[in-house]
Amino acid sequence: MSTPVTEFPFTLPVGYVDAGGAVHREGRMRLSTAGDEILPLKDPRVQANPAYLSVILLSRVIVSLGDLEVINPHVVEGLFAADMAHLHGVYNRINGGGPAFAVVCPYCERGFDVEPEPPGESSATPSTVSTGR
């Protein structure tokens, strides 16, 4: 019987910039537990502002980020919006809420996961922006 995978790597699109100016982009996130999703609801910061739930939740499940020794709500608060959106996607995918699906290449027969691009954002879709000509 194999050991289940409970941690997943990620790379932030922008990166967390620490007080010394170092940028941290590579990290690992673990699967969420029921406690990770329930216990933050008791936090006064979440009760005062429900949007803060994602900060607390991500600070609980991110196990590493670059060379940082501690991942806490202060670190998550300092992430850029693009990085927060990316981490929400990682969280949803690894905890069963994401749109990724398994496919097999018809040529080499290797399997891999595919994430569909959001509607209107496909690189294969021709641009509809007028150039004014």
Does a structural domain hold residue 133?
A: no
Examine residue 90 and state whether it is found in any structural domain, yes or no.
Answer: yes
CA dist 87 and 63 (Å) reads 13
CA distances from 4 to 31, 53, 100 (A): 11, 27, 19
Cβ atoms 57, 39 nearer than 8 A: no
Per-chain mean pLDDT for the chain: 84
What per-residue confidence (pLDDT) applies to 113? 59
pLDDT in tens, 9-31: 999 999 999 999 999 999 999 99
Q: Which residue has the higher pLDDT, 98 or 2?
A: 2
Check residue 5 and give its pLDDT: 87
Residue 55's domain comprises: 7-114
Domain-embedded: residue 85: yes
More confident residue, 44 or 107: 44
| Within-domain flag for 123 | no
Q: Determine, yes or no, domain membership for 39.
A: yes
Alpha carbons 45 and 39: distance in angstroms, whole number? 12
- Domain count for the chain, please give it: 1
pLDDT digits (tens, 9 = 90+) for 105-128: 777 877 665 555 443 344 444 444
Each residue's pLDDT tens digit, 79-110: 999 999 999 999 999 998 655 556 667 778 77
Establish if 129 belongs to a structural domain: no
For the record, the structure tokens of 131 come out as 């150039």
Q: Please report the pLDDT score of residue 120 as a whole number.
A: 39
